[in-house]
Amino acid sequence: MSDARSGLQLRSLIKKSGELEISLLSVPTAEPGPDEVVVRVEATPINPSDIGLLTGAADLSTVKASGSKEAPVITAKVPEAGMKAMAGRLDESMPVGNEGAGVVVKTGSSEAAKALMGRTVSMIGGAMYAQYRCLRVNECMPLPAGTTAAEGASWFVNPLTALGMTETMRREGHKALVHTAAASNLGQMLNKICLKDGIGLVNIVRSKEQADLLRKIGAKHVVDSSAPGFMDDLTNALAETGATIAFDAIGGGKLAGQILAAMEGAINKTAKAYSRYGSNVHKQVYIYGSLDTRPVEISRTFGMAWGVGGWLLFPFLMKVGPVEGQKLRERVISELKTTFASHYTRVVSLQEALDPANLAVYGKRATGEKFLINPNKGG
């Protein structure tokens, strides 16, 4: 194991020439300021949101491996069409990894910092795909005794996104919600939250296997968009729950519009008077992911009281403010082994994360496949 003074850090670089390069750099560990700590990172997940930064617009079918076993390098081509969206990051070597957990090995001089010495903490703030990470005390949450770094690694992105959905539902005046790609890690978490909090949730999945998986963990309303009776099933589930807001991970194609149409159909089952503008109940779809990158296609057959828009965790946290945000963080930490437990397909080292065979698996962002990096594994 390397000493804490320096360590490997994963970097993603897109060159003006149109080449992606992912590599491991040995970087000196920053000296902690008074209110900072240095954490030996032991667990950091590969989330879909990390893959966006990691591989950018590169074509993963062009991946090539080079470098050594200790310092592997991955390169791939970025198609011309994808380069425009990369303009802001060209020729800048970027660290990756939103969240993680590890052990505090060095602290600054403040009481709050010193209190964390030796503690296992969860972290947020980027650059987690590294052996050491220097960060502010308020970017850490100490984990309860008996909770491992692996158990605390995915404490922020998925748990707070799922809580952000039910919280947004409440704040915008809806009483139940819809979730798509609902068999994902995030979707399973959202089911556990809704079961615990008594919130109606309509799960939309894309296969019978995913529907079965969700029913097995207790999901009450599961509809399969690949089944022939999809629109009827969805309308019935919406009428039963009264859901008028949806969070959609898929984005492209007709699904967002279908959800709005089914919501209107569910509302009209109990409508009393004709309105040529449709119901006046506001129906909302928030797109928070882009599993399907095609255009969103919305056939407006559901009146005028509707909205479709983007939704992201960090703007949501900005909107609710630090006090509410801290409450949500504390709930996650206290339910890490139950509601917010994550499941991983594999635990890999930094070097193994750069193995093209692994990249080919996690790069698909497929439901049910989730990798955890232990940057100090066998290091």
Binding site for its own copies (CB under 8 A): 52-53, 56, 85, 88-89, 92, 251-252, 257, 268, 271, 273-277, 280, 287-288, 290, 293, 295-301, 303-312, 315
Rounded CA-CA distance 158/92 in Å is: 28
Rounded CA-CA distance 199/260 in Å is: 20
Q: Closer to its own copies at the Cβ: 81 or 323?
A: 81
Q: Closer to its own copies at the Cβ: 268 or 374?
A: 268
Q: Closest distance between its own copies and the C-beta of residue 308, in Å?
A: 5
H/E stretch holding 244? none
Residue in this structure with the two tokens 């930490």, named with its chain if needed: 333
Name residues whose C-beta falls within 8 Å of residue 368's C-beta, 6 or more positions apart in sequence. 183, 184, 345
* Range 129-147 burial, b when 16+ CB lie within 10 A, else e: bbbbbbbbbebbbbbeeeb
319 three-state secondary structure: helix
Q: Closest distance between its own copies and the C-beta of residue 275, in Å?
A: 7
Q: Closest distance between its own copies and the C-beta of residue 370, in Å?
A: 20
Q: Closer to its own copies at the Cβ: 216 or 272?
A: 272
Name residues whose C-beta falls within 8 Å of residue 316's C-beta, 6 or more positions apart in sequence. 164, 167, 168
Q: Closer to its own copies at the Cβ: 311 or 344?
A: 311
Q: Closest distance between its own copies and the C-beta of residue 85, in Å?
A: 7
- CB count within 10 Å of CB 73 equals 14
Rounded CA-CA distance 357/63 in Å is: 10
Q: Closest distance between its own copies and the C-beta of residue 209, in Å?
A: 29
Q: Closer to its own copies at the Cβ: 37 or 238?
A: 238
Q: Closer to its own copies at the Cβ: 162 or 305?
A: 305
Q: Closest distance between its own copies and the C-beta of residue 103, in Å?
A: 29
For the chain, state the CA radius of gyration. 22
Q: What are the beta bridge partners of residue 37? A: 107, 135
Q: Closest distance between its own copies and the C-beta of residue 184, in Å?
A: 18
Q: Closer to its own copies at the Cβ: 223 or 285?
A: 285
Rounded CA-CA distance 233/339 in Å is: 27
